[in-house]
A and B are shown apart, each in its own frame.
Chain A
Amino acid sequence: MDSYLDILSVLILLSSIILVSHKRIKSYIKTFRIQSALIALTAGIMGWNSLIEEGSLDILVVCIIIILLKVILIPRLLHKTYGSIEYKVEKDFFLNIPLLIIICCGLVVFVYFSVSNISGLNEDHINLQVVNSFSVILIGLFFMISRKWALGQMIGFLVIENGIFVTAMFSTHGVPFIVDIGIFIDMITAILIMGVMVMQINEKFESININKLRNLKG
């Protein structure tokens, strides 16, 4: 089972790097969907394992919730949010895409060097999984910084939450159930609120370029 989890952690990292390399909003949402499906698969495998070993249904329920929320519901919300926006492809970047991808790779190297110096995270297989999932968090943060459109920040936030969830899964086999449920409720509320805010920004500022949100200074 561990080797499947290794492969899945690699694929999840891969999906976050592919996310950085896209320019169209539809591709962002599609890649996010694939990443969430991979995470649901990971949760499913771990849940199945915990069901057989300890008889607890917690992680399997969490897996089903992920499928409902992140694979089905949230992409639909995102589609609705960006439906009202005029342009669907992001043209303006701070740095060009190959450079962004190489910086993501640099982030993975950085995480590897940091994590390998912390005892308690240092056993063989856990090391690989934790490095990969922690890199997803940093890559999500980087994605948020590298995009000029407000929608990019929403998706970056979602990727950060994905990364945190996988890190929790891989390092501690999940947090207490009530905390998990609370995290999901918080996340979906956050996305709803951010979606409404993006629509309001679009209305008031005529674009979702966050560089135009610079009136308050000092």
Chain B
Amino acid sequence: MNSAAIATQGLTRRFGALTAVEDVDLRVAPGQFFGFLGPNGAGKSTTIKMLTGLLAPTAGRIEILGLDLAANSIEVKRQIGVVPEGMALFGRLTGAEYLNFVGRMYGLDRETAAKRAAELLDFMQLADQPKKLVTDYSHGMQKKLALAAAVIHGPKILFLDEPFEGVDAIASGTLKAMLQSMISRGATIFLTSHVLEIVERLCSHLAIIHRGRLVAQGSLEELRAGVEAQAAAALPSDGGQSAAVAAPGEKLTLEQIFLRTVGGARPADQELSWLS
């Protein structure tokens, strides 16, 4: 599993009788902007929680930057940044206090933490109200603060669980600018999102998880080629799923690739006749 930024082998997580993630082998190369997609309940958040140490795998192995996560959790955590589900903010601190706190949790000295906190607040356009408590921030402001906190120590890998959920276009633009600047400096980003247009625009590589299993992995072009080849083979009997295939001469969008891969297109004969 060497030379990968993130690599998993047989990653499995069970909750009682339910297998949320099963035998997942992921491989993310350094410097990739990696999108991890899947329908609701497919196992995306469970996977990202295991990769960031928030959840223990039932079976399998995780390597981050060549280090085994189970054996070197502190060393791994030093090199990663996380925006988890729920954002992990402290509502009764100000944005500056929170960033200061997180910076020092990641080992920055007091002066560096304060300096970076100020720069990040400025970059994220959160510096206008320094006395405002995080609990009084809007959802978009909280997302920006959570991202600022995740990068304050200059991580080599950034894990983002739905960073664009509930964020307006302005805040979304700020987040994207920061992420692209990180990629250009060699960082690796692992992102889950339901906003496929953003994933398509940002991510160079993708994986799709469905019912806990990894069903596709590769660059966008590789995934597109795979789906087109499958569609060509199955076209005579695809049961109405041809809606997820592009018109001749057009490239498949990520949404079409996604729907083909997870089989999410609704058969045309299903309709609610009473709807006006």
**A interacts with B:** no
